């Protein structure tokens, strides 16, 4: 454990000390080289080997001063995790000595073996060559642990033929696509000052902590990240005493070190608190550019795990590690801003800024409605299946929350009404050639909405806690880019700018306002209402992923140069395969735990109860409770054997299914049902078997002992 005293070393000195940020480059690079790097980051210039050589020398010297011996191209393959291959800085001189070298070529490009990373058919498994390319938009950083210090360089990962093999390449392409179309819209409505539009993200990370001693005794947590068996204890989260409650000292010490590690690499961790469920917590950073935010969130997840271990705990980032209590999500707070500081989702004080706000907000409404299936697919994972629509997380129906005042403003524009009440009760004029002055706080917050407007951003609440946020933001960016492209096509041809803006908003929102819902997203009434509106309700991961191979999706990605047809189809295969593999592991764990641990323990305890009953009967004592308990255990144990055998058969059938979609459906419909049937018997047995004789720590230990 790291001893931290912020009074001796102020946060201002710690923050960014292990991050090769723009501020560090400004200090260490020649002024003209630094300006070139900034131009490259903003897309105004292309990176050259000459510039890379300057940066490489500076980066190497900085890393060596910090004690680094190795560097790695840190990338994000289609596993959803990160990958790294370490190379030392040493270069032999030939006389038994070495020097420490790092060239611009080594900075720009690496060549890890790509053969064992998921490719979804983009290449044969025997074709091993892959390349990592420096992502100039995200700063290098240092990883420090007991083994030493390593310079980590964020990179993209591509195949020999240029196919994207990672999460970062499509994301960067989508950022460029949205920038192109958003700038066109801004020019069409009279903005000539903003040169670039970028997306910003602030992902809130939820997670559980459990004592390592209990974790180590459960193979389901070790192998799957969740408990496949377990009963909620007499006290759960119903008293609502965990949420925002006082943080336990052990957890506070963990959070203190977590902040320390994140601040060192320049991650602006801002907010931390107890979440709703016992031993559940949340960390939220300040907004940053999407590329940096994606990298930072991957680092956040890695750091949560490593710091938890140093404090004798294990972190659980699975979306539903415990049945019966709230699971974990990752609220993706997404916004669009210009390079000169304009938040395009921020209502303004004059008709022009309000026109811009309403126009870009309308684009999001249309994008979310038209591409609801694509957005739903971006959060389709085996873990998230446990959350979505489970009365603790947004439903599987994609909708937007605006709140009453903003919805009224849009409805009045569409319906041609001349005024509407503002949040403060005043009148908002809705003329043909001007748009209203809007109140700053346009809505309350709706925690049941999957896509909520929260002031100057949209909160995409469907993202799973263990997910990379790259795909959700990629899909969202390209969907909005397509709508903005169509808006720009109309606005660029218009003679009267104000009338054209009004017409675009009226037409678009009029067609797509069905996706706006301000009520309780958990209610059964909403499910029926959504069906009446024609909104899709896709509950299974395989069905949600099907949209990726649809002609419209492929065309969308190709038109904006985000993914080729082959790259899109590869992701469909990878995601389905990952889903099947995860459920295969979980089902195998269920069978193994049931057969090797739970059945023997339950049978032994049942036999003990039978012996106790016989002993009591021999002395004419009341033996019925023990007899009944023994019989019930025997009955459940027999049922457990039967259901485990059925699950084994269903698992074998799924494993032998060739087609990737049919296989995933078999796991979804047959294997999951079989797992649930086994769990029903096991959880019933846990109620009957003595805690001392039960082979695993229960939920009470996992959720309440830290």
Q: How many CB atoms lie within 10 A of CB 365?
A: 24
* pLDDT > 70? residue 443: no
Judge if 547 and 581 occupy the same domain: no
Q: Is residue 1 part of a domain?
A: no
152: buried, middle or exposed (CB in 10 Å: 19+, 13-18, 0-12)?
A: buried
- What pLDDT shows up at residue 123? 65
* Distance separating alpha carbons of residues 591 and 605, to the nearest angstrom: 20
Q: Is residue 568 part of a domain?
A: no
587-622: per-residue pLDDT in tens? 999 999 999 999 999 999 999 988 888 887 778 777
Domain housing 148:
11-166
pLDDT above 90 covers what percent of the chain?
73
Judge if 191 and 109 occupy the same domain: no
* pLDDT > 70? residue 369: yes
- What pLDDT shows up at residue 618? 78
What is the band of 190 on the pLDDT scale with cuts at 50, 70, 90? very high
519-529: per-residue pLDDT in tens? 988 888 999 99
Domain at 637, CATH number: 1.20.120.1560
310-361: per-residue pLDDT in tens? 999 999 999 999 999 999 999 999 999 999 999 999 887 776 788 899 999 9
- What pLDDT shows up at residue 347? 81
- What pLDDT shows up at residue 424? 39
* pLDDT > 70? residue 127: no
433: three-class secondary structure by DSSP: coil
Average pLDDT along the chain: 90
Judge if 526 and 594 occupy the same domain: no
Domain at 307, CATH number: 3.30.590.10
- What pLDDT shows up at residue 418? 56
Taking residues 478-501, report their average pLDDT.
Answer: 95
Judge if 230 and 256 occupy the same domain: yes
Per the structure, the count of domains in the chain is 3
Residue recorded with tokens 């027999």: 638
What is the band of 391 on the pLDDT scale with cuts at 50, 70, 90? low
Judge if 618 and 529 occupy the same domain: no
Q: Is residue 570 part of a domain?
A: no
If we measure between CA atoms, which residue out of 305, 553, 521 comes closest to residue 392? Answer: 521
62-79: per-residue pLDDT in tens? 999 999 999 999 999 988
- Which domain-ending residue is among 115, 135, 166? 166
- What pLDDT shows up at residue 597? 97
Q: Is residue 328 part of a domain?
A: yes
Domain at 78, CATH number: 3.10.20.70
Judge if 492 and 557 occupy the same domain: yes
Structure tokens at 290: 């999407």
Q: Is residue 3 part of a domain?
A: no
* pLDDT > 80? residue 438: no
Q: Is residue 2 part of a domain?
A: no
- What pLDDT shows up at residue 97? 82
Classify residue 129 by its DSSP letter. B
Judge if 451 and 500 occupy the same domain: yes
Judge if 208 and 330 occupy the same domain: yes
**Structural contact between residues 192 and 342, judged by C-beta atoms closer than 8 angstroms:** no
370: three-class secondary structure by DSSP: helix
Judge if 268 and 303 occupy the same domain: yes
- What pLDDT shows up at residue 419? 46
Taking residues 214-231, report their average pLDDT.
Answer: 97
pLDDT above 70 covers what percent of the chain?
94
270-280: per-residue pLDDT in tens? 999 999 899 99
Across-strand partners of 283? 205, 272
* pLDDT > 80? residue 442: no
Give the least confident one: 87-96, 100-109, 151-160, 596-605: 87-96
Q: Is residue 343 part of a domain?
A: yes
- Which domain-ending residue is among 507, 540, 563? 563
Q: Which long-range contacts (CB under 8 A, 24 or more apart) does 555-560 make?
A: 556/371, 556/374, 556/478, 556/479, 556/482, 557/478, 559/482, 560/173, 560/174, 560/177, 560/478, 560/481, 560/482
* Distance separating alpha carbons of residues 114 and 131, to the nearest angstrom: 8
- What pLDDT shows up at residue 267? 94
Judge if 161 and 187 occupy the same domain: no
What is the band of 431 on the pLDDT scale with cuts at 50, 70, 90? very low
Structure tokens at 555: 């065309």
Report in angstroms the alpha-carbon separations of 13 from 260, 266, 303, 364.
11, 11, 20, 40
- What pLDDT shows up at residue 681? 97
Rounded to two decimals, the pTM is 0.92
Taking residues 545-569, report their average pLDDT.
Answer: 97
Structure tokens at 20: 């090769």
Give the least confident one: 286-290, 445-449, 451-455: 445-449
Q: Is residue 5 part of a domain?
A: no
Judge if 161 and 179 occupy the same domain: no
229-266: per-residue pLDDT in tens? 999 988 877 777 788 888 999 999 999 999 999 999 99
- What pLDDT shows up at residue 93? 84
- Which domain-ending residue is among 501, 530, 563? 563
Judge if 179 and 159 occupy the same domain: no
Return the CA Rg of the chain: 28
Taking residues 403-413, report their average pLDDT.
Answer: 87
């Amino acid at each position: 454990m790291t001893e931290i005293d912020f009074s001796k070393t102020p946060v201002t000195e710690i923050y960014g000390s292990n991050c090769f940020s723009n501020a560090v480059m400004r200090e260490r690079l020649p002024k003209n080289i630094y300006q070139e790097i900034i131009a490259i980051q903003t897309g105004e210039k292309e990176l050259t080997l000459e510039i890379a050589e300057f940066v490489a020398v500076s980066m190497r010297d900085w890393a060596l001063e910090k004690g680094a011996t190795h560097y790695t191209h840190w990338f994000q393959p289609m596993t959803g995790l990160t990958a790294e291959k370490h190379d030392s800085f040493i270069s032999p001189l030939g006389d038994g000595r070495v020097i420490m070298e790092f060239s611009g070529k080594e900075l720009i490009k690496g060549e890890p073996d790509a053969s064992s990373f998921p490719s979804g058919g983009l290449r044969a498994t025997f074709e091993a060559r892959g390349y990592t390319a420096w992502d100039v938009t995200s700063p290098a950083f240092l990883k420090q642990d007991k083994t030493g210090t390593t310079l980590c360089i964020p990179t993209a990962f591509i195949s020999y033929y240029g196919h994207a093999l990672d999460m970062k390449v499509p994301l960067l392409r989508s950022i460029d696509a949205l920038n192109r179309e958003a700038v066109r819209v801004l020019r069409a409505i009279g903005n000539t000052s903003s040169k670039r539009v970028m997306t910003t993200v602030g992902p809130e990370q939820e997670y559980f902590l459990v004592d390592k001693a209990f974790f180590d005794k459960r193979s389901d947590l070790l192998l799957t990240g969740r408990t496949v068996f377990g009963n909620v204890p007499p006290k759960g989260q119903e008293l609502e005493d965990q949420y925002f409650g006082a943080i336990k000292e052990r957890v506070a010490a963990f959070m203190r070190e977590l902040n320390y590690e994140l601040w060192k690499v320049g991650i602006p961790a801002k907010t931390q608190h107890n979440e709703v469920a016992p031993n559940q917590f949340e960390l939220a950073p300040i907004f940053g550019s999407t590329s940096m935010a994606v990298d930072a969130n991957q680092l956040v997840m890695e750091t949560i795990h490593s710091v938890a271990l140093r404090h004798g705990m294990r972190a659980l980032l699975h979306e539903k590690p415990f049945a019966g209590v709230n699971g974990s999500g990752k609220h993706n707070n997404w916004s669009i801003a210009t390079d000169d500081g304009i938040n395009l989702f921020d209502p303004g004080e004059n008709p022009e800024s309000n026109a811009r706000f309403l126009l870009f907000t309308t684009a999001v409404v249309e994008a979310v409605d038209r591409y609801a299936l694509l957005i739903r697919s971006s959060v389709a994972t085996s873990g998230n299946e446990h959350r979505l629509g489970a009365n603790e997380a947004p439903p599987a129906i994609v909708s937007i929350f605006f709140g009453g005042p903003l919805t009224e403003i849009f409805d009045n524009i569409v319906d041609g009404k001349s005024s509407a009440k503002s949040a403060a009760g005043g009148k908002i004029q809705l003329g043909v050639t001007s748009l209203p002055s809007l109140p700053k706080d346009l809505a309350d917050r709706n925690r049941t909405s999957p896509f909520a407007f929260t002031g100057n951003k949209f909160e995409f609440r469907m993202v799973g806690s263990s997910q990379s946020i790259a795909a959700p933001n990629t899909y969202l960016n390209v969907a909005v880019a397509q709508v903005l492209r169509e808006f720009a096509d109309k606005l660029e041809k218009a003679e009267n700018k104000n009338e054209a803006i009004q017409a675009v908003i009226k037409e678009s929102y009029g067609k797509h306002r069905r996706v706006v819902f301000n009520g309780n997203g958990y209610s059964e009434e909403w499910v029926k209402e959504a069906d009446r509106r024609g909104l899709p309700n896709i509950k299974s991961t395989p069905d949600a992923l099907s949209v990726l191979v649809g002609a419209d999706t492929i065309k969308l990605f190709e038109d904006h140069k985000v993914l080729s047809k082959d790259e899109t189809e590869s992701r469909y295969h990878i995601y389905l395969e990952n889903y099947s593999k995860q459920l295969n592991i979980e089902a195998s764990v269920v069978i193994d735990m049931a057969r090797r641990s739970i059945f023997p323990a339950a049978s032994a305890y049942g036999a003990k109860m039978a012996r106790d009953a016989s002993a009591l009967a021999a002395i004419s004592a009341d033996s019925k409770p023990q007899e009944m308990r023994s019989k019930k255990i025997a009955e459940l144990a027999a049922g457990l054997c039967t259901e485990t055998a059925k699950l084994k058969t269903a698992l074998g059938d799924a494993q032998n299914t060739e087609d990737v979609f049919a296989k995933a459906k078999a796991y979804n419909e047959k294997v999951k049902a079989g797992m649930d049937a086994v769990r029903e018997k096991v959880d019933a047995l846990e109620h009957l078997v003595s805690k001392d004789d039960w082979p695993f720590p229960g939920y009470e230990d996992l959720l309440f002992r830290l």
